[in-house]
Structure 1
Amino acid sequence: MGIYEKGFERPSPIQEESIPIALTGSDILARAKNGTGKTAAFCIPALEKIDQDNNVIQVVILVPTRELALQTSQVCKELGKHLQIQVMVTTGGTSLKDDIMRLYQPVHLLVGTPGRILDLAKKGVCILKNCSMLIMDEADKLLSPEFQPSIEQLIHFLPANRQILMFSATFPVTVKDFKDRYLKKPYVINLMDELTLKGITQYYAFVEERQKVHCLNTLFSKLQINQSIIFCNSVNRVELLAKKITELGYSCFYIHAKMLQDHRNRVFHDFRNGACRNLVCTDLFTRGIDIQAVNVVINFDFPKNSETYLHRVGRSGRFGHLGLAVNLITYEDRFNLYRIEQELGTEIKQIPPHIDQAIYCR
């Protein structure tokens, strides 16, 4: 009911991967960015495993900052709203006496920063001998020099058969060293390279250079474009093409690396807000773009390598996107086309006379 009331309808990829594994009792090392639903990915199994009739600390969630501690405990309380689970948050910079008093009452789940929890454990008021699950969020930050000694001491207060879940956006050496020393056969989840061509139908059209604009015009008239991004391989070509598209009577913005940053930001902002249907750009624009409304990507100039192709065509971050990618291929591009297909393990088919709208329109 807690999950339902938070409005979660289906698990995000990180939740789908970590929750079942966490419930089996395995250690986990998961790599995921913020904004991917990782807090619930560890809070849900933590709440699920707590025995509410046993008034001891059963889960500790370590975070590097006070703000994150408050936010995480809030998520635990909301998700566990219909359970009789007592959540406590403790961080440095607040009254130690209040925390000690609070620990005389039942606490099942403790969220906090490492120094304060260690302090309470050393004083004998925070009893961790029954704590079977330790969760480290933002593990890369927790294993920086200021926190690592506290965490290693803290682990000695936990039972030998404890389960450790680590979530981190990056995997520096410290994270690897720590994993090798303290995690038993961890299950590794890596969702950082979530740029994917899933849900995107890819076509190529074999054209001569001088037919490209005509071909683009045909695509505009035949496709059901919500918003499109059109890639060129040079600044010069971006401007020329944008001019051509405008002459053909279609609305169009352009963006490239030689423009001033605030001008670029403004174009991006307006395009994102739907002020214009088509955007012509160079590769500067490929990373981290996630515009929900873009359903067609056109490579007016075919890229030279597979990474560029993936960043242009694979839409970042959000799952459940349908899209269409159309590549205009000249005789010179044919080897690159074949190589990119091989390297990405994907198929780029010849464009059919008619494209079913269901494959790229929601």
Structure 2
Amino acid sequence: MTKSLHNFPDFIQTAWNKSGFTSLTDIQERALPDQVDNKDMIIESPTGTGKTLAYALPALSKLNPGIKNAQVLFLAPTRELAMQIYEVCQKFTENSGLSGASLIGGANMQRQLDKLKKKPQYIVGTPGRVKELIQNKKLKVHDVKTIVIDEADHIIEAGFNGDVEQVIGATLKDRQLVFVSATINKKTEDWSRKLAVDPVVVKVQKEAVESQVTHTFMVSDYRDKVDNLRKLIRHTPDIKAMVFINSSMKMDEFASKLEYKKIKLGVLAGNSTKQERQKVLNDFKNGKIPVLLTTDVATRGLDIPDITHVVHFELPEDVKQYVHRSGRTGRMGKEGTVVSLVTKAELSSVKKWTAKMNVTLQKQNLEKGQVVIEEINKTSYNERGFKQDTKVSQQKTSVSKKNRESDNKRS
């Protein structure tokens, strides 16, 4: 048990130990004390750095079992993210006598009203549904002491900031506000500061996590990308890949071609129904399907553990989007691989992005049924944006189990 959690309730300490965690991440170490002291906060921490626990643990630690009303509100821009937060809260309030409720848009209203009759002490929901229930006097918030707004930048992008402001306005002025996001731009920070009172700003980088991720590319004509993806899936043992496509219009076409080649996969698009999304996500998380085809919009806020590969089937718009997608593998210090399927014309973009990130880019080939990685010359960019090449010796590394075993015998 880490010292920072010694003063937390026993149920949190028990859940922490049961989870197998041995130490706090950087964002947890830096964000916990000020939240425990009830300070308003703005937290920026990349995907995969443990930020959910960074805000959930201090909020849950202050819940009073004797007060049978909502005391903490967690707001999220998507149903999926809200449910993930709810699952974390359930896990860390086990055997505590505390209860919670998920209030998300698109779900059955009567069931949510039934949950509220049980007087939950914490609420996890989407801004529109929470606002609606408050306005209809079904959700009482006079005992709310903490409001956490997760993925604050996406809240603004989706146009939910007005709903959030109305939820905040319905609570007493001495409540604590915590704004959290993987990336906080000026617009998001200005909005957060407008609502918060002298907020403490904590921002962390993701250096330790990214060091475990291998960035690679495969070159082909656009029409051959599907076949390269099929080969990658076939010849990579125990793959669990999230494949990004820019437009949902092409998803069915690509999925049909892969399924014709007997590749098991799921499709997560922005127009998927709630039931379709939940089934696909559960099948992917549980390993029933090794590949998930998706768009950036469809995966906002999702936290899926143990993804081995992120595949940029179609390139993102910029380096920021590349980093965000790529961050879904190699989480919490685990190893991961990023594969960009590119045409010759697209390769320069990937080289430039990885150089700016100061990571090595490697070429990936398929040779005799094996995936082979070959390091290329690394191109960096100076402060004025001009290329400066650094020579790197070439070496080939097979990632197939069979090849690793033969290499060991030769050595």
Where on the TM-score scale, by shorter chain, does this alignment land: which range?
Answer: 0.5 to 0.7
Distance in 2, Cα, partners of 1:92 & 1:198? 35
1:112 counterpart letter in structure 2? G
Distance in 2, Cα, partners of 1:37 & 1:66? 20
Q: CA deviation at 1:148?
A: 1.3
Alignment of 1:94 with 2:107, yes or no, is yes
Q: CA deviation at 1:45?
A: 0.8
Is the CA contact 1:60–1:131 (under 8 Å) kept in the aligned structure 2?
yes
Provide the residue aligned with 1:68 in structure 2. Answer: 81
Is the CA contact 1:255–1:267 (under 8 Å) kept in the aligned structure 2?
no
The residue correspondences of 1:6-17 to structure 2 (distance < 5 A) are: 6-17=19-30
Specify whether residues 89 and 195 from structure 1 end up closer, same or farther in structure 2 by C-alpha distance, changes over 3 A only.
same
Distance in 2, Cα, partners of 1:97 & 1:262? 45
Provide the residue aligned with 1:20 in structure 2. Answer: 33
Distance in 2, Cα, partners of 1:270 & 1:100? 48
Q: 1:171 aligns with which of 184, 199, 207?
A: 184
Specify whether residues 262 and 163 from structure 1 end up closer, same or farther in structure 2 by C-alpha distance, changes over 3 A only.
same
Specify whether residues 269 and 136 from structure 1 end up closer, same or farther in structure 2 by C-alpha distance, changes over 3 A only.
same
Larger radius of gyration: 1
Q: CA deviation at 1:74?
A: 1.1
Q: CA deviation at 1:136?
A: 0.8
Is the CA contact 1:2–1:82 (under 8 Å) kept in the aligned structure 2?
no
Provide the residue aligned with 1:211 in structure 2. Answer: none
Identity of matched residues, % = 23
Provide the residue aligned with 2:144 in structure 1. Answer: 131
Specify whether residues 261 and 94 from structure 1 end up closer, same or farther in structure 2 by C-alpha distance, changes over 3 A only.
closer
Q: 2:207 aligns with which of 183, 186, 195?
A: 195
Provide the residue aligned with 1:121 in structure 2. Answer: 134
1:195 counterpart letter in structure 2? E
Specify whether residues 66 and 51 from structure 1 end up closer, same or farther in structure 2 by C-alpha distance, changes over 3 A only.
same
Deviations 1:93-122 (A, max 9, x none): 223233223323221100001111111111
Specify whether residues 88 and 310 from structure 1 end up closer, same or farther in structure 2 by C-alpha distance, changes over 3 A only.
same
Provide the residue aligned with 2:46 in structure 1. Answer: 33
Distance in 2, Cα, partners of 1:122 & 1:3? 37
1:63 counterpart letter in structure 2? A
Give the gaps of 5 or more residues in structure 1.
Answer: 200-228, 232-253, 275-285, 295-306, 314-335, 341-362
Is the CA contact 1:90–1:113 (under 8 Å) kept in the aligned structure 2?
yes
1:171 counterpart letter in structure 2? I
The residue correspondences of 1:318-329 to structure 2 (distance < 5 A) are: none
The residue correspondences of 1:287-326 to structure 2 (distance < 5 A) are: 292=335, 310-312=358-360
Is the CA contact 2:49–2:206 (under 8 Å) kept in the aligned structure 1?
no
Give the gaps of 5 or more residues in structure 2.
Answer: 1-13, 239-321, 338-354, 362-379, 384-411
User: TM-score, length-normalised on structure 2?
Assistant: 0.51
Distance in 1, Cα, partners of 2:29 & 2:231? 36
How many matched pairs? 254
Is the CA contact 2:15–2:91 (under 8 Å) kept in the aligned structure 1?
yes
Q: 2:194 aligns with which of 160, 167, 181?
A: 181
Deviations 1:208-257 (A, max 9, x none): xxxxxxxxxxxxxxxxxxxxx9x9xxxxxxxxxxxxxxxxxxxxxx9787
Is the CA contact 2:27–2:50 (under 8 Å) kept in the aligned structure 1?
yes
Q: CA deviation at 1:187?
A: 1.6
User: TM-score, length-normalised on structure 1?
Assistant: 0.57
